[in-house]
Amino acid sequence: MYRRTLIKSLVAAPLLGGLATGAAAEESQPKIQRPARLRAGMTIGLVSPASNVWENEDIRFAMDVVKSLGFEVKEGTHLYQRDQYLAGSDEDRAADLNAMFADSRVDAVFCLRGGYGSARILPLLDYRTIADNPKVLLGYSDITALLNAIHRHTGLITFHGPIAAQNFTDYTLEEFRKVLVNSRAPVPLGAPPPFDGGPGRAERKNRITRFRGGKARGRLVGGNLSLVASLLGTPYEPDFRGRILFLEDVEEAPYRIDRMLTQLRLAGKLEQVAGIVFGKFTEADTDENTFSVEQVLRDRTAGLAVPVVRGLMIGHVEDQTVVPVGAMAELDGDKGSLTLLESPLV
């Protein structure tokens, strides 16, 4: 909800507990940690690390969605707080997330919604406690900041996927179960849902564009483009080296997508990755004289010697996959497919 107008700047702060920063962080990547797969009857901690939903009934709706999946719900202590576009103070939002990881009765953590504010709490997170208590952390959009920072500093595989305050389509539920419940590998991620074609009918909405072919393997990193770009130069910046970078966004005009991809390229990050997967760039404002989103994505990745694909079901769409940040995957630029090569869970 007007997320792009709220993201202005991020202030890097020292990590709590003496975690490595800067060049030291580049040399000290923590060991990969896999949380437990989800099972019926587990308790899900519900938190809102960024913005809140408009009304309390929307929170109760989100809890009903989680319960409908077969789980119990534990509310964050400050779940009902609101302070303008934030779900309460930075300290309270961070305290809720820290408490869910510290609580042995909580099996996984789902985010109520995105919005804006996750990056503000990164210096306040207890990364040692999170590392000592690996659990599924699920969310997307602004939650991208948490997913990547926590993975970077704890090694925990985190999950870019649906928020609690949304109904799951059949496709979303299938992808959710495939990654977080059944958790087998190899499995395809984000392939468009089947289309009922016929004479005079062809898929238009969910098409795969292959910008550059070839195959690449690497651990997944990324999420919302605005948040990934905003983390550059901070202690929470993702490690791009040899990774498969996935990106999506919403309400961003082509020139702003251009600007953020240019920032990533000027910083040398796009030259470090093994492959690039563009998900959905929805509600892009193209009313003025402008390049198309396709032109921008093609231009800003031109000359890279890695496979580049656009169109997987990642982002602000109803039919949405779950992407494990930190898990090993293969990108096939010729087939236009992304395959999870290992189970991200134990």
| Catalytic-role residue among 78, 153, 183, 248 | 248
- Cβ atoms 253, 287 nearer than 8 A: no
pLDDT for the residue numbered 286: 75
> Where in the sequence of the chain do the CATH 3.40.50.10740 domains occur?
43-167
pLDDT for the residue numbered 28: 63
C-alpha 240/C-alpha 271 separation (Å) is 9
pLDDT for the residue numbered 14: 34
| Catalytic-role residue among 141, 183, 230, 337 | 141
pLDDT for the residue numbered 162: 98
C-alpha 115/C-alpha 127 separation (Å) is 23
To the query of whether residue 343 is one of the catalytic residues in this protein, the response is: no
C-alpha 300/C-alpha 166 separation (Å) is 33
- Cβ atoms 321, 312 nearer than 8 A: yes
Which CATH number describes the domain made up of 187-193+208-340?
A: 3.50.30.60
- Cβ atoms 254, 292 nearer than 8 A: yes
To the query of whether residue 26 is one of the catalytic residues in this protein, the response is: no
Angle at the Cα of 42 from the Cα atoms of 38 and 47, rounded to 5 degrees: 90
pLDDT above 50 (res 344): yes
> Where in the sequence of the chain do the CATH 3.50.30.60 domains occur?
187-193+208-340
The per-residue b/e assignment along 278-303, b for 16 or more CB within 10 angstroms, e otherwise, is bbbbeebeeeeeebebeebbbebbee
Please write the tens of the pLDDT for every residue from 15-69: 433 333 333 334 468 999 999 999 999 999 999 999 999 999 999 999 999 999 9
Sheet bearing 209-212, strands edge to edge: 187-189, 337-340, 328-332, 215-224, 244-250, 275-282, 308-310, 209-212
Helix (H, G, I), strand (E, B) or coil at 18: helix
Sheet bearing 323-325, strands edge to edge: 72-75, 43-47, 108-111, 136-139, 158-160, 323-325
Q: Is 202 left (phi over 0), alpha (psi -120 to 50) or beta?
A: beta
To the query of whether residue 153 is one of the catalytic residues in this protein, the response is: no
Q: How many CA atoms lie within 13 A of 290 on its CB side?
A: 16
Neighbours of 196 (CB within 10 A): 6
The tokens for 97 are 């997330």
pTM of the model: 0.92
Please write the tens of the pLDDT for every residue from 143-201: 999 999 999 999 999 999 999 999 999 999 999 999 999 988 999 999 999 999 999 99
CATH architecture of 43-167: 3-Layer(aba) Sandwich (3.40)
Residue 149: alpha-carbon gap to chain centroid? 11
| Catalytic-role residue among 78, 151, 153, 316 | 316
